[in-house]
């Protein structure tokens, strides 16, 4: 009798665990939220993710990635009066103070310094307004079409907004930059104080996910009265990174943890495309070789639901049946898209892996003339 009860108890616990692992996320009290795979941008879960909302200091994700991509991290920034008097979060920069741009980026992300954000914008573009134009241009390039920036810090402005999806897309883009990833996962950083004063700025990251969530590695907190509590969080487990975005969410830490756990427990990352396996062989017109292989430019890993979604993968390409010589190694041949249930979940460029010269005499005549 005791043994029977024991087995029943074990079975009950097992059923509860299975249901917990594969249950949908529930009771999310947020205006909008989304969960995405960083590598492909695939949306794994979300609600109201295309509603335009203020995003407070999560704005600074764009500020920092633009600064990194400028290639000017070693430049010395002179702090203007305008930067030094910014309201809200601050690292207490002083007018006339000189500080390296890279150090300012740590101040922006770890301590959410509005003064540091303005200093970065002014140094790179001459003014906040010009920098905002650059931010908007970059947003469109990334595909964040429902986003508009008016400043580099996220303080309230009617024309300053994003969506959970757009912000996730921007973050996925930024996290592929090694320097950005290094900054956002830094727990503690010391940067110089004013040169004339004998102290340094010791900054501890405000992002609790770095300590509280298994695999947590970023990204940015945000809060204003208008935007509410906002959090962009990322985590990596088994070389697989997810990002969650919650906008206007009072319980942002627990909700973000719940979203990320849901992703890791209900999806798995599969090796969908192998760069070493030819996707297709095509005929070569007027070439010294009649057939050539078309290869994926790189490996492609895609998240799929654990319940067998892998079998639903379908592939679509835009390459033709023939290629005309000359063909060059690493030349783009087309693009391969991966779908699940008619939804695009990943794409990769297709390339040639060899050089094939043409048989045309005119080609060789032109080649000889170029050397003369």
CA–CA gap between residue 105 and residue 108 (Å, rounded): 5
Residue 266: half-sphere exposure toward Cβ, Cα within 13 Å:
19
Rounded to the nearest 5 degrees, what angle is found at the Cα of 337, between the Cα atoms of 34 and 25? 20
Q: Is the per-residue pLDDT at 276 higher than 80? A: yes
What pLDDT was estimated at residue 12? 47
Q: Please tell me which residue, 197 or 234, carries the higher pLDDT value.
A: 234
**pLDDT mean across residues, the chain:** 92
Q: Is the per-residue pLDDT at 11 higher than 70? A: no
Domain boundaries, the chain: 28-267, 274-361
What pLDDT was estimated at residue 143? 97
Mean pLDDT of 45-64: 98
What pLDDT was estimated at residue 198? 82
pLDDT tens-place string over residues 14-42? 444 444 444 566 568 899 999 999 999 99
Mean pLDDT of 221-225: 97
What pLDDT was estimated at residue 369? 74
Residue 105: Cβ-neighbour burial (10 angstroms; 0-12, 13-18, 19+): buried
Beta strands in the chain (DSSP E): 30-37, 43-47, 76-78, 98-100, 188-192, 200-204, 216-224, 228-237, 240-249, 267-273, 280-285, 291-296, 300-305, 313-317, 322-324, 332-340, 343-352
pLDDT above 90 coverage of the chain, percent: 84
pLDDT tens-place string over residues 165-195? 999 999 999 999 999 999 999 999 999 999 8
Rounded to the nearest 5 degrees, what angle is found at the Cα of 180, between the Cα atoms of 176 and 184? 115
Strand partners, 283: 291, 322
pLDDT band per the 50, 70, 90 thresholds, residue 297 = very high
CA–CA gap between residue 344 and residue 357 (Å, rounded): 36
Q: Is the per-residue pLDDT at 5 higher than 60? A: no
What pLDDT was estimated at residue 3? 54
Q: Which CATH class is domain 28-267?
A: alpha beta
**Closest by Cα among 136, 123, 147, 125 to 49:** 147
> Is there a contact between 242 and 217 (Cβ–Cβ < 8 Å)?
no
What pLDDT was estimated at residue 15? 42
Strand partners, 220: 232
**Closest by Cα among 246, 236, 263 to 53:** 246
Q: Which CATH class is domain 274-361?
A: mainly beta
What pLDDT was estimated at residue 20? 43
Mention every residue, 6+ apart, whose C-beta is less than 8 A from residue 69.
177
> The tokens 């990194």 sit on which residue?
68
> Is there a contact between 78 and 96 (Cβ–Cβ < 8 Å)?
yes
Query: What DSSP string describes 284-325?
Result: EETBSSSEEEEEESS-EEEEEETTTGGGGEEEEE---SEEES
Residue 258: Cβ-neighbour burial (10 angstroms; 0-12, 13-18, 19+): buried
Catalytic residues: 57, 60, 112
Mean pLDDT of 100-111: 98
Strand partners, 275: none
Would you say the CATH fold of 274-361 matches that of 28-267?
A: no
Mean pLDDT of 98-126: 98
Q: Is the per-residue pLDDT at 370 higher than 90? A: no
Mean pLDDT of 355-371: 78
Q: Please tell me which residue, 24 or 335, carries the higher pLDDT value.
A: 335
Mean pLDDT of 2-14: 49
CA–CA gap between residue 274 and residue 300 (Å, rounded): 7
Mention every residue, 6+ apart, whose C-beta is less than 8 A from residue 185.
210, 217, 218
């Amino acid at each position: 009798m005791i043994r029977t009860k024991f087995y029943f108890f074990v079975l009950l616990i097992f059923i509860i665990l299975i249901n917990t692992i594969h249950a949908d996320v529930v009771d999310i009290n947020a205006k909008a939220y989304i969960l995405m795979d960083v590598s492909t941008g695939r949306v794994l879960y979300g609600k109201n993710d295309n509603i335009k909302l203020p995003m407070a200091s999560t704005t600074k994700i764009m500020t920092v990635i633009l600064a990194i991509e400028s290639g000017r991290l070693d430049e010395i920034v002179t702090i203007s009066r305008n930067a030094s008097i910014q309201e809200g979060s601050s690292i207490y920069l002083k007018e006339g103070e000189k500080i390296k741009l890279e150090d300012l980026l740590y101040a922006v992300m770890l301590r959410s310094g509005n003064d540091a954000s303005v200093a970065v914008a002014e140094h790179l573009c001459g003014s906040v307004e010009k920098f905002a134009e650059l931010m908007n241009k970059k947003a469109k390039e990334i595909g964040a079409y429902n986003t508009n920036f008016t400043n580099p810090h996220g303080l309230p402005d009617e024309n300053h907004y994003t969506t959970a999806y757009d912000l996730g897309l921007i973050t996925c883009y930024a996290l592929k930059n090694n320097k950005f990833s290094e900054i956002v996962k830094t727990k503690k950083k010391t940067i110089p104080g004013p040169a004339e004063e004998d102290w340094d700025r010791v900054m501890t990251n405000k992002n609790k996910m770095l300590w509280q969530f298994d695999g947590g590695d970023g990204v940015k907190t945000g809060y204003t009265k208008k935007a509410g509590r906002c959090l962009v969080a990322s985590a990596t487990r088994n070389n697989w990174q997810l990002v969650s975005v919650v906008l206007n969410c009072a319980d942002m830490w627990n909700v973000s943890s719940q979203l990320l756990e849901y992703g890791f427990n209900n999806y798995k990352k599969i090796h969908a495309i192998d760069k070493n396996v030819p996707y297709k062989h095509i005929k070569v017109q007027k070439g010294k070789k009649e057939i050539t292989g078309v290869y994926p430019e790189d490996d492609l890993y895609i998240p799929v639901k654990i319940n067998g979604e892998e079998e639903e993968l379908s592939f679509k390409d835009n390459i033709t049946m023939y290629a005309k010589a000359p063909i060059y190694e690493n030349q783009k041949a087309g693009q391969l898209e991966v779908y699940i249930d008619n939804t695009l979940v990943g794409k990769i460029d297709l390339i040639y892996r060899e050089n094939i010269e043409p048989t045309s005499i005119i080609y060789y005549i032109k080649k000889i003339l170029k050397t003369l």
